[in-house]
Structure 1
């Protein structure tokens, strides 16, 4: 009798282990399926602009970047609405915000990161140590300062995101630190690249001690100028006029110039 009971217990225990394993495998398969669905959802939600986005980390100097791709990535923050956590530049312990302000990354910092214009007059007082969350639309940059319009104060001394890998297509819900967005906005500055485009024209400026030549490369389909290259030596313009397609130039990215990406210290590659 005891042996029969012991045998039954062993059988029941064995079935319990098999059932648990099956349930565990089922849960694992379900989790994997959910993860795959999440990955697919994220990919399908990406816009064509986001899929085509390039960053300085993608640069291979031996693989020319189409001028339009560089242009789109360089100006990708233009007209984007952002919310930054920052400090207001002031020369006292507190100051009144009226219609425009300069934003800095740390209290008392000399370097201005953002210039911000408000739609309405605020007449609001803030302290120099207040971390202010400001929402606005980026219009461009001037002397390295990012310009924003339609600004409004969202909050003061509230939670913020420390995310540094920022994209205009996927921003954190919380305000991002002004310094982090500033760094990403200017990430292309100083990067050496090779670009390929349609030769549009050469502009020559004669100075007292030297001659400056700038080649403008355009999108081959639209004909719109995208990149301006300041050459280290005078190019062969006759050759370029006869060979306008697929011109490759190597140079170092500077700030924008007349609505184009400016490259300096440029040389012809082909």
Structure 2
């Protein structure tokens, strides 16, 4: 069986390297399941000293976020809260670790970036999106609380009111809007996404000592800001777990699955 997440080292100018992590379960739209997130955590740990990290994905979509069928199944089996705490806990750890990592993180994403998967874009230091990429929360359609940084990170970039309004309206944020608002740093044709991300990394590697880049990151994401992010991500996790076993949430999952079956 092929890995759901792949990791490799790629060479950059000046003898530098990047850890390239690829979401590799396109048949499931790279859905965030417990095994998938365990593989992602392990892949990100493969070269902890790499000065650059690239996160990309195979398939039509970057990731459609959490697997609603798996949440529904866990609810029917009486383990909804435990499943939510484990899965969302893993996602929140990854998001926090990317911001805390002494490396520059670049995410390249295409197609759907929905639910908690948006955290892998929001937590990046630079993001390249394809023209067909879009972010959408979907939480209100099911009754979930937001995770992956929709409440903990998105307001840092677009402001609290807009971040909340997008979730209340389940708004779709297309690539150009994401670029305008600073969620993305580059938008390109889908076929050019890999090259654009490689160009970003090469530019970073050629520009300066990577430790100087990390020093800038640490000044922006200092201990105080990281501590606040950790608290907010924990609050997202706890709110998600508190809502997952409610009757209204179970009904929301059933409606969602019936519409998308």
Q: Same fold (TM over 0.5)?
A: no
TM-score, normalised to structure 2, is 0.25
Name the one with the larger strand percent: 1
Structure of greater relative contact order (alpha carbons < 8 Å, 6+ residues apart): 2
Structure number with the higher helix fraction is 2
Q: Which has the larger radius of gyration?
A: 1
